[in-house]
């Protein structure tokens, strides 16, 4: 008896729901029930098209030009705003819908623009437009001349490398192997060490002021240490395109983070808000798999993961100006069974030459770039 009453109640409720939905279709402004009274790309009064004279690929230095027009003749365009899709940074605004944006404002690589159109009387439309912007020329190519060799712990899965106040600092990865170290540059002697929890996968490190910052692979958590004794003084979080943390460095005002894609993120070292981002690109388009980073004099140096390459990226635009190859740098006698990929860039405190190594490598190489024959 109880089950029959419950089924009757359920049937009554279902009928009431059907009646209520039918009534909603007859409400003013609802039409056949598919029209929603808010700005929508699917509604006729809020539809625009974005027309570009140059579809697809542009060269860095070109101007991005397109116009926006209503799909329906009875609609009027009031204004158009164009911004970067990822950051919402405003690039252009025009009442007539004719847009011209210098590519120096967008940077290169795969550029995605957000187009907001106001059609009046509360009607708005949103579209996205993508362009690929390439460098006009290939980067200059260099090889390395090995000047000196310094010992390196071949059990270190190198994720971050830097020199600070004359000492070498290294961050390593892999769960159960992740740590940060302070060492003598030329002997490799470990002066101080901090081991991470066994469930953490350490990635890039950098020193900003009196703090050492570290990111992790997939945890989206960064750690902050006192540079004097490696005591942990804080944590921070970050959101990236891949959801991962790879390399870390800094300029005068911001931390610079890579995530294994072509994106580089500029992050406030105090609030950890994103200040901006650039995309690394060359004559072929975006340059991804950016890994360990080092910043110097307006240039970001980055290892390209699984390759023998280091790229020199303009920190303002993302343009790859130089391509360094470490191919042939390691002597056959220096190869070990567990040797992994090239990863680790720093600069010698006295000579200013580049120091490079890799995951599970037994040597840090002091090198000098040598331009390849054209």
Reported residue count of the chain is: 374
Question: Cα-flanking dihedrals φ and ψ of residue 106, to 5°?
Answer: -95, -25
Question: Cα-flanking dihedrals φ and ψ of residue 108, to 5°?
Answer: -110, -165
**Which has the closest alpha carbon to 355: 146, 195, 111?**
146
pLDDT, position 55: 67
CATH of domain 140-371: 2.120.10.30
**Would the CATH topology of 44-134 be identical to that of 140-371?**
no
Q: Which residues contact 114 (CB under 8 A, 6 or more apart)?
A: 82, 83, 84, 85, 88, 126, 128
Q: Cα dist. 42→29, 66, 73, 82, 123 in Å?
A: 15, 22, 16, 20, 12
pLDDT tens by residue, 282-321: 999 999 999 999 999 999 999 999 999 999 999 999 999 9
Nearest-angstrom CA–CA distance, 157 and 75: 61
Average of pLDDT values for 335-354? 91
Choice among 105-109, 151-155, 349-353, 359-363 with the minimum mean pLDDT: 349-353
- Coil/strand/helix, residue 231: coil
Q: Is the pLDDT of residue 332 over 90?
A: no
Nearest-angstrom CA–CA distance, 359 and 177: 12
Which secondary structure element, helix H or strand E, spans residue 6, and what is its range? helix 2-25
Nearest-angstrom CA–CA distance, 113 and 127: 8
> For all residues of the chain together, what is the average pLDDT?
87
Please write down the long-range contacts of 127-131, taking CB distance under 8 Å and 24 or more positions apart. 127/41, 127/48, 127/49, 127/50, 127/68, 128/85, 129/50, 129/52, 129/66, 131/52, 131/56, 131/57, 131/58, 131/64, 131/106
- Delimit the domains of the chain by residue range: 44-134, 140-371
pLDDT tens by residue, 210-256: 999 999 999 999 999 999 999 999 999 999 999 999 999 999 999 99
CATH superfamily of 44-134: Immunoglobulins (2.60.40.10)
Q: Kindly give the pairing relationship between strand 221-226 and strand 211-216.
A: antiparallel
């Amino acid at each position: 008896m109880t089950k029959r009453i419950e089924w009757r109640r359920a049937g009554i409720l279902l009928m009431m729901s059907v009646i209520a939905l039918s009534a909603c279709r007859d409400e003013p402004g609802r039409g056949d029930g598919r029209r929603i009274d808010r700005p929508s790309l699917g509604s006729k009064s809020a539809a625009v098209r974005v027309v570009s004279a140059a579809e697809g690929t542009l060269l860095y230095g070109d101007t991005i030009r397109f116009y926006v027009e209503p799909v329906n003749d009875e609609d009027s365009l009031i204004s158009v705003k164009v911004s970067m899709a990822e950051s919402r940074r405003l690039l252009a605004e025009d009442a007539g819908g004719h847009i011209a944006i210098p590519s120096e404002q967008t940077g290169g690589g795969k550029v995605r623009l957000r187009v907001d159109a106001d059609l009046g009387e509360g009607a708005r439309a949103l579209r996205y437009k993508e362009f690929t912007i390439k460098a006009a020329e290939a980067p200059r190519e260099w090889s390395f001349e090995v000047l000196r060799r310094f010992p390196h712990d071949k059990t270190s899965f190198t994720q971050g490398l830097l020199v600070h106040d004359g000492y070498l600092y290294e961050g390593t990865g892999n769960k159960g192997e992740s740590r940060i170290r302070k060492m003598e540059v030329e002997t490799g002697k470990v002066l101080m060490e901090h081991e991470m929890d066994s469930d953490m996968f350490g990635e890039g490190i950098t020193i900003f002021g009196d703090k050492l910052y570290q990111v992790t692979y997939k945890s989206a958590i960064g750690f902050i240490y006192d540079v004097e004794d490696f005591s942990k003084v804080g944590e921070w979080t970050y959101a990236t395109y891949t959801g991962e943390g790879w390399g870390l460095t800094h300029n005068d005002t911001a931390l610079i983070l890579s995530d294994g894609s072509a994106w580089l993120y500029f992050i406030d070292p105090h609030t950890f808000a994103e200040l901006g981002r650039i995309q690394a690109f060359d004559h072929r388009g975006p340059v991804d798999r950016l890994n360990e980073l080092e910043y110097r004099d307006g240039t970001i140096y980055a290892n390209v993961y699984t390759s023998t390459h280091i790229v020199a990226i303009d920190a303002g635009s993302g343009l790859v100006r130089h391509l360094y190859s470490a191919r042939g740098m390691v002597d056959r006698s220096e190869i070990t069974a567990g040797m992994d990929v090239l990863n680790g860039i720093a600069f010698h405190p006295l000579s200013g030459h580049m120091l490079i190594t890799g995951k599970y490598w037994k040597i840090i190489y002091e090198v000098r770039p040598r331009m390849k024959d054209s």
